[in-house]
Amino acid sequence: MSGDVLVGTDGSRAALAAAVWASEEARDRGARAVVVCVFDPGWPTARATERLRQEAESVVERTRNRMSAFMPGVEVVGEELAGSSPSKVLLERAASVSLVVLGRHGTSDLPGRWPGTVADQVAAHAPVPVVLVPHEPVPTEARDVVVGVDGSSRSKHAALTAVETAQGHGDRVRAVWAWTAPESMVPRGSEAEQELKRWRRENLESALKPVLEEFPDVVVLREVRREHPVTALLADDRHTRMVVVGARGEHGFAELALGGVARGVLNRSDRPVMVVHGSRD
């Protein structure tokens, strides 16, 4: 893996937590971290705009210092970018990096709405994977990268990204195929349920085959669970370092582009969540 890791910051607690997480990710990728703060240039006076630019510069400097203190060997550079829409600016900047890292929630030190809404829009529409990081740090003993697989092209790409990411960290992968069926039609413990489980395991194995051929040294556990996908992905999260989900599509509002499973995982998980778009050519 190579390419810069872009860290969006607004000075909030959530953004600083994301920056610390990103510094470790940059180290493991052998990449440079780029800290970006977006400020609004549309204030009535040049003096007010300049003051806001200076505040953004201060936010970037504090973030860089925090990252350098946590991970001294990582190169960290800063950028203050002008734009009335932080999400638009970050999406444009994301085109030239390999990963975007943002805090999931928080309260900005800068005027305007950043946390949540901007993170959602970037996660929904970025051309590269986006990781949304919660406040609390991940326990050091948590080393699993969990990914949802359902046979779709987006989930296959999510699995490939999860395995590639796990390889860079020396982690293992838990590939989860979740399925549901009405109890009245497929009673639990029935022969029909066992047959469906076997079929799903074959589906999962087939979906993972090209990924395992490309990364044969990564340990990949297979799980077939009769549960809602969100519940299945968040099960046994004591060992989870990160959850990887595929986005639904490229267009529409964040809620629609992310899809129900990605949205549900983001709302319920207390681990970093990586949202992956499209497929690798």
Q: What is the pLDDT along the chain (281 residues), one digit of tens a residue?
A: 559 999 999 999 889 999 999 999 999 999 999 999 999 888 888 888 899 999 999 999 999 999 999 999 999 999 999 998 999 999 999 999 999 999 986 444 444 433 357 888 899 899 999 999 998 888 888 999 999 999 888 888 999 999 999 998 889 999 999 999 999 999 999 999 999 999 999 999 999 999 999 999 999 999 999 999 999 999 988 899 999 998 864 444 444 457 788 889 988 999 999 999 865 54
Can you say whether the dihedral through the CA atoms of 167, 122, 44, 108 is positive or negative? negative
**pLDDT for residue 107:** 44
Q: What angle do CA 146, 147, 150 make, to 5 degrees?
A: 145
pTM over the 0.85 mark: yes
DSSP state of 4: P
98 and 174, same domain (yes or no): no
Evaluate whether residue 150 is within a structural domain: yes
> Does some domain include residue 96?
yes
pLDDT of the residue at 208: 96
Note whether 151 and 119 are same-domain residues.
no
112: left (phi over 0), alpha (psi -120 to 50) or beta: left
User: Within a domain: residue 58?
Assistant: yes
> Are 30 and 101 part of one and the same domain?
yes
Q: Which two tokens stand for residue 125?
A: 């529409």
83, 98, 133 - which closes a domain: 133
First CA to last CA across the chain, in angstroms?
Answer: 15
Based on the fold, state whether residues 121 and 150 are members of the same structural domain: no
3-state SS class at 153: helix
Please give the residue range of the domain that contains residue 118. Answer: 5-133
Same-domain pairing of 94 and 21? yes
Same domain, 157 and 179: yes
- What does the pLDDT read at residue 42? 81
Q: Which of 109, 133, 157 is the last residue of a domain?
A: 133
Residues 27, 113, single domain; the answer is yes
- Is residue 109 located within the same domain as residue 190? no
Q: How many structural domains comprise the chain?
A: 2
Q: Is residue 97 part of a domain?
A: yes
Q: Is position 281 within any domain?
A: no
Residues 120 and 232 in one domain: no
Please tell me the predicted confidence (pLDDT) of residue 110: 42
Domain boundary among 108, 133, 158: 133
Angle (nearest 5°) at CA 187 between 183 and 188:
105
pLDDT of residue 251: 40
Is 139 part of a structural domain of the chain?
A: no
